[in-house]
Homo-oligomer: A and B are copies of this chain.
Amino acid sequence: MEQIKDYIATHKDRFLSELVELLKIPSISADTAFSQDVLETAKAVEKSLIDAGCENTEICETKGYPVVYGDKIIDPDLPTILVYGHYDVQPPDPMELWESPPFEPVIKKTELHPDGAIFARGACDDKGQMFMHVKAVEFMIKNDQLPCNVKFMIEGEEEVGSDSLADFLEDHKEKLSNDIILISDTGMMANDVPSITTGLRGLSYVEVEVTGPNRDLHSGIYGGAVPNPINVLNKMIASLHDENNHITIPGFYDKVEKVSDEERAEMAKAPFSLDAYKKALDIADVQGEKGYTTAERYSIRPTLDVNGIWGGYTGEGAKTVIASKAYAKISMRLVPDQDPEEITELFTKHFESIAPKSVKIKVTPHHGGLPYVTKTDSVGYKAAAKAYQATFGKTPIPERTGGSIPIVALFEQVLESKTILMGFGLDSDAIHSPNEHFGVWNYLKGIETIPYFYKYYTEMTS
């Protein structure tokens, strides 16, 4: 990949300004008020593919938001890399915690990003990381260095569960046929500690509603005599973890793959400072399942977290009410070989069974996703490792991460391809949080590294 560094240096400002323009559009898929913006973003992505030199670009209709497609087929006998990304973003709330508006990108220097980082919702997840691929392919096409075929599949519903994707893949299997899938929607351990994500957790997500009395009640007249749905919900949720932070849902751990002692020892070698971890989050102590390290807790062990809870009076001042209803959003991260639909069913059955007779329970499942693990002896992994080696000067560490990308398992099922997760973000990029950002250095490093993957993958599969 000669001249990649020069190309980046020459076009750096344009690479940044194009990304900034894309980040300005509030493509919030979770909120229908922004549907026009989401569609506008799809158009902008299609245009960027055309400008990069792709062909056959298309904004493909789905049941929901469209998938943007584009390709460059140079020789049907060469391998085909399919690039997946998403152009939709997480909701930005809570707004008041952003230091600059989430859809008015600014580049600011920080301690971890002395070259500056782009602050905006979607800067890292996923517009910044998706756009690295567009720029990398632009380099390869414009400099006649594309070694194989490439196809792009950029969707607009990842943050809300990619509901339309399964059907889209089924309907366009031929068009999307490929040898390997490339995704940048994960991170590295540090700018000087490259890593490749080899494991993703699965996801089961439910919403629960507890109903007590049929109306809000005066807590003096009725307090102590009637079920208080908030207190009941608290008891029920509290019971889901025992004193060792082990989840108490019957059958929950039955299919959890036991990770070997050797693999755990390997994992333990990865650089990790518990002090730095606690300091970055400003917590006096970590907290998790007894018998496991922090890194194990967020990667190879399943979890249960309340993502949101509400009920009763939450406004200014005091109101002495017993609410009729209390609600919570609860998600569970899963590991191989847990199945999200089975886990959701186990949760529902158990939650309904522990409810006192005095209340009514409703459990509504949301989207889920299968866990996924990539073997480090695969061609795809080796090509990626070699690419990082070329640009970072060191071997990347294979890392099982805590996040979920449910469609990775879907890709394997429908398109029968493995996925390589080449991430360039950092945990401190605050994805899903206020003040999300993406390092300028990381962005450019990704653009530099990705073409090496194409080179090595093509070489290794010839």
Comparing A259-267, A424-432, A451-459, the segment that makes contact with chain B is A424-432
Give Cα A309 to B315, complex, Å.
10
- A-B contacts, 29 of them at CB < 8 A, read A30-B316, A30-B317, A30-B319, A97-B215, A97-B216, A201-B220, A212-B281, A212-B283, A216-B433, A217-B433, A219-B307, A221-B401, A223-B305, A224-B288, A226-B281, A228-B287, A234-B237, A285-B357, A305-B322, A306-B311, A307-B322, A307-B323, A308-B319, A309-B310, A309-B314, A312-B329, A313-B329, A314-B327, A321-B432
Residues of B close to A235: CB separation below 8 A: 238, 241
Give the residue of B201, B224, B316, B329 whose beta carbon is less than 8 angstroms from that of A289: B224
Give the residue of B205, B333, B356 whose beta carbon is less than 8 angstroms from that of A318: B205
Residues of B close to A239: CB separation below 8 A: 238
Give Cα A320 to B433, complex, Å.
10
Residues of B close to A294: CB separation below 8 A: 225
CB atoms of A223 and B319 under 8 A apart: no
Is A90 in the interface zone, CB < 8 Å from B? yes
Residues of B close to A281: CB separation below 8 A: 212-215, 217, 226
CB atoms of B320 and A331 under 8 A apart: yes
Residues of B close to A318: CB separation below 8 A: 30, 160-161, 205, 207, 307, 329, 331, 366-367
Contact with B along A432-450 (1 / 0, CB 8 A): 1111000000000000000
CB atoms of B305 and A313 under 8 A apart: no
Is A282 in the interface zone, CB < 8 Å from B? yes
Quote the shortest CB–CB distance from A424 to chain B (angstroms): 15
Give the residue of B160, B201, B331, B434 whose beta carbon is less than 8 angstroms from that of A317: B160
Comparing A43-51, A295-303, A343-351, the segment that makes contact with chain B is A295-303
Give Cα A201 to B282, complex, Å.
41
Quote the shortest CB–CB distance from A238 to chain B (angstroms): 4
Quote the shortest CB–CB distance from A214 to chain B (angstroms): 4
Is A276 in the interface zone, CB < 8 Å from B? no
Is A203 in the interface zone, CB < 8 Å from B? yes
CB atoms of B298 and A331 under 8 A apart: no
Which of A201, A317, A356 has the largest count of B CB atoms less than 10 A from its CB?
A317
Q: Which of A233-271 contact B (CB under 8 A)?
A: 233-235, 237-239, 241
Give Cα A385 to B234, complex, Å.
44
Is A31 in the interface zone, CB < 8 Å from B? yes
Question: Number of A residues whose C-beta is below 8 Å from B?
Answer: 100
Give Cα A381 to B230, complex, Å.
38
Given contacts A319-B432, A358-B284, are A307 and B303 in contact (CB under 8 A)?
no
Smallest CB gap from A228: residue in B? B305
Is A359 in the interface zone, CB < 8 Å from B? yes
Smallest CB gap from A435: residue in B? B215
Q: Which of A359-405 contact B (CB under 8 A)?
A: 359, 366-367, 401-404
Q: Which of A182-221 contact B (CB under 8 A)?
A: 187, 201, 203, 205, 207, 212-221
Give Cα A435 to B324, complex, Å.
14
| Those 7 A-B pairs whose CB atoms lie nearest each other, nearest first | A220-B403, A224-B303, A238-B238, A308-B312, A214-B282, A285-B358, A213-B281
Residues of B close to A284: CB separation below 8 A: 357-358
Given contacts A215-B97, A241-B231, are A226 and B313 in contact (CB under 8 A)?
no
Quote the shortest CB–CB distance from A101 to chain B (angstroms): 17
CB atoms of A308 and B311 under 8 A apart: yes
Q: Which of A66-113 contact B (CB under 8 A)?
A: 90-91, 93-94, 97
Give Cα A328 to B228, complex, Å.
14
CB atoms of B286 and A225 under 8 A apart: yes
CB atoms of A219 and B315 under 8 A apart: no
Smallest CB gap from A312: residue in B? B308
Give the residue of B220, B227, B309, B431 whose beta carbon is less than 8 angstroms from that of A283: B227
Residues of B close to A301: CB separation below 8 A: 224
Give the residue of B220, B237, B302, B434 whose beta carbon is less than 8 angstroms from that of A231: B237
Give the residue of B213, B222, B223, B319 whose beta carbon is less than 8 angstroms from that of A91: B319
Give Cα A367 to B319, complex, Å.
11
Is A326 in the interface zone, CB < 8 Å from B? yes
Smallest CB gap from A237: residue in B? B234
CB atoms of B231 and A283 under 8 A apart: no
